């Protein structure tokens, strides 16, 4: 019996080996390397060796310099500003999409595909489209605002409106994905709850706030978790939409500089790989903190009882 168990374990390990090798080679080892590099001043160009690492060793110096630099707190503030604008808008848009696609209208399958097209499209292509839409000179959005007598802002060229412009593009890109997740949550609600509410004479608002939202809360919680994690990793839209006229991304005047953009800039433009690795691990700690906070707070509002 023991021999058969050992043989079964080896067979299982054999089948898992390709995945385990990939996990170690492309996830575990790079993470360990970045943790070590965050304690050095490695520039990303010189050869990696124990002697080189010993010469460039700074310990926690990168983290101390990072936390003591006003740039880090400004970039963190920009990222949090994006999240504050993005979260309520993406939740409202996703719920709207879910309710719309939950109807029994004709060709509803076609509408579901249409709402999912932005999710399938490349962020580069979508960001270029939105860069044109938000152009203060010939953009479609300002043209529509002008037709109703509203002077459109400078959007990506205005320090106050650049981040809201990126938020609009992000909501457009993501609402189809999160809308389908919430649609799955809606379709998982037992119709008998609504039938009982109709018999009791419940209004639309009572059914929405006492049946739909409580039973949809697990799906909403999942959406919140993913949205917060994705928001802290905001990058492609900033890179494409804010790099104009030869200017580096993150403008105007650093108003759209975010965590991942700074990691990219320090690593591949300033060749400060050690410093960029420190940025990466601080980003990991921040995401972990907010994820754990959400997991703790879910007990107060998420209802898992069907």
Is 255 part of a structural domain of the chain?
yes
Average pLDDT score, the chain? 87
Number of structural domains (the chain) is: 1
Is the pLDDT at 243 greater than 90? The verdict is no
Asked if 77 and 256 touch (Cβ cutoff 8 Å), the reply is: no
pLDDT at 246: 65
Is 168 part of a structural domain of the chain?
yes
Is 16 part of a structural domain of the chain?
no
Residue span of the structural domain in which 107 resides? 69-300
- Quick one: average pLDDT of 181-200? 88
The CATH code of the domain that includes 185 is 1.10.3720.10
pLDDT at 151: 86
pLDDT at 41: 86
Give residues with Cβ within 8 angstroms of 209, minimum separation 6. Answer: none
pLDDT at 10: 81
pLDDT at 104: 76
Is the pLDDT at 271 greater than 70? The verdict is yes
* CA dist., res. 277 & res. 42, Å (int): 10
Question: 142-154: per-residue pLDDT in tens?
Answer: 888 888 888 888 8
Please say whether the dihedral angle defined by the alpha carbons of residues 153, 154, 156 and 161, taken in this order, is positive or negative: negative
Is 25 part of a structural domain of the chain?
no
The pLDDT-based confidence of 1 (bands split at 50, 70, 90) is: low
Is 195 part of a structural domain of the chain?
yes
pLDDT at 304: 78
């Amino acid at each position: 019996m023991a021999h058969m168990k050992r043989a079964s374990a080896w067979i299982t390990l054999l089948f898992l080996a390709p995945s385990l090798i990939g996990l170690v080679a492309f996830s575990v080892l790079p993470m360990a390397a970045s943790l070590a590099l965050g304690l050095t001043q490695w520039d990303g160009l010189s050869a990696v060796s124990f002697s080189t690492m010993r010469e460039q060793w700074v310990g926690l110096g990168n983290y101390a310099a990072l936390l003591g630099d006003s740039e880090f707190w400004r970039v963190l503030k920009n990222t949090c500003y994006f999240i504050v604008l993005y979260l309520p808008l993406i939740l409202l848009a996703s719920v709207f999409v879910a309710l719309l696609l939950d109807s029994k209208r004709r060709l509803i399958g076609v509408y579901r595909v249409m709402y999912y097209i932005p999710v399938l499209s490349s962020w580069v292509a979508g960001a270029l489209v939105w860069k044109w839409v938000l152009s203060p000179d010939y953009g479609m959005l300002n043209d529509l605002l002008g037709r109703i007598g509203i002077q459109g802002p400078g959007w990506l060229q205005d320090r106050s409106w650049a981040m809201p412009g990126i938020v609009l593009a992000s909501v457009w890109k993501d609402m189809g994905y999160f809308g389908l997740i919430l649609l799955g949550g809606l379709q998982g609600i037992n119709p008998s709850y609504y039938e009982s509410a109709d018999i009791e004479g419940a209004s639309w608002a009572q059914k929405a706030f006492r049946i739909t939202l409580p039973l949809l809360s697990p799906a909403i919680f999942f959406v919140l978790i993913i949205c917060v994690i994705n928001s802290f990793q905001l990058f492609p839209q900033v890179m494409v939409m804010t790099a104009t006229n030869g200017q580096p991304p993150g403008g105007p005047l650093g108003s759209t500089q975010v965590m991942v953009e700074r990691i990219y800039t320090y690593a591949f433009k300033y060749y400060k790989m050690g410093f960029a690795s420190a940025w990466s691990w601080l980003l990991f700690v921040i995401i972990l903190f907010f994820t754990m906070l959400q997991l703790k707070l879910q007990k107060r509002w998420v209802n898992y009882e069907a």
